[in-house]
Copies of this chain bind each other. A is one copy, B any other.
């Protein structure tokens, strides 16, 4: 009996004082998203973690470093998608599809980190550096849209910059309502986004196309 019984003491120990940098980061990001970065002091974090401030400083140099680590987590994920084989070779339309799918996956898998990234307004050096990386990522996707348009596979009647903004408007809005463990898996959600973005909502038959073209021309 004694051998198979779980050891509650060890479970407790694992759950609380045993934080490593990663564990501290997770709790910090949760707090930043809940109260805002400015309103979250190291003192508040210490309380949430059940640690002393100096125990936190053993793992990270400052609150600013926690923010940098958190934003890296989101940005490394997004930039990682761009360097994957399928994002770098083949027709631009395929590469674009791969990147959009990958962006949805990173968003879902790193939800609190991407949520934090999307709220950054550029108030500090760390925030400005993150915004610069995010803009570079957006530019890479805009370039893919442009390539796909030049290849003739993506419509040429909308500015690639606006297309990219609308696409990321759709993708980024997922942080507002998606909850992990819900009915929709990350893969399913990524497929939904790609289906709407690439194929559109309407059923593709000639009669219907006529109806909706008329609606598109509406005053």
Copies in the complex: 2
Q: Is the CB of B204 within 8 A of A192?
A: no
Cross-chain pairs A/B with CB under 8 angstroms, 8 sampled: A97-B215, A145-B201, A155-B202, A158-B196, A169-B169, A169-B173, A172-B173, A198-B215
**Residue A54 at the chain B interface, CB threshold 8 Å:** no
Q: Spot the interface stretch: A15-23, A24-32, A86-94, A125-133.
A: A86-94
Q: Is B176's CB under 8 angstroms from A215's CB? A: no
Flag whether A122 is at the interface (Cβ < 8 A).
no
Residues in chain B near residue A154, CB distance under 8 A: 201-203
Contacts of A158 in B (CB 8 A): 192, 195-196
A7: chain B residues within 8 A (beta carbon): none
Q: Pick the most buried of A172, A174, A212: most chain B CB atoms within 10 A of its CB.
A: A212
A192 partner residues in chain B, CB cutoff 8 A: 158-159, 162-163, 166
**Across chains A and B, which 5 residue pairs bring their CB atoms closest together, nearest first?**
A169-B173, A200-B200, A97-B215, A199-B200, A170-B170
- Bound CA span A152–B94, Å: 28
Known contacts A101-B218, A170-B173, A197 near B191 by CB under 8 Å: no
Contacting pair B195 A93 (CB below 8 A): no
A95 CB, nearest partner CB in chain B, Å: 9
Q: Identify which of residues 172-219 in chain A touch chain B, using a CB-to-CB cut-off of 8 Å.
A: 172-174, 176-177, 184, 189, 191-204, 208, 211-212, 214-216, 218
In the bound complex, residues from chain B placing their C-beta under 8 Å from that of A153 are 202-203, 208, 211-212
Contacts of A91 in B (CB 8 A): 211
Find out whether the CB atom of A98 lies under 8 angstroms from the CB atom of B218: yes
Contact with B along A72-111 (1 / 0, CB 8 A): 0000000000000010000101100110010000000000
Contact A199:B198 (CB < 8 A) given known A94-B211, A169-B169, A214-B94: no
Instruction: Indicate whether A37 reaches chain B with its CB closer than 8 angstroms.
Output: no
Cβ of A48 within 8 Å of any chain B Cβ, yes or no, is no
**A97 contacts which of B166, B173, B189, B218 (Cβ < 8 Å)?**
B218
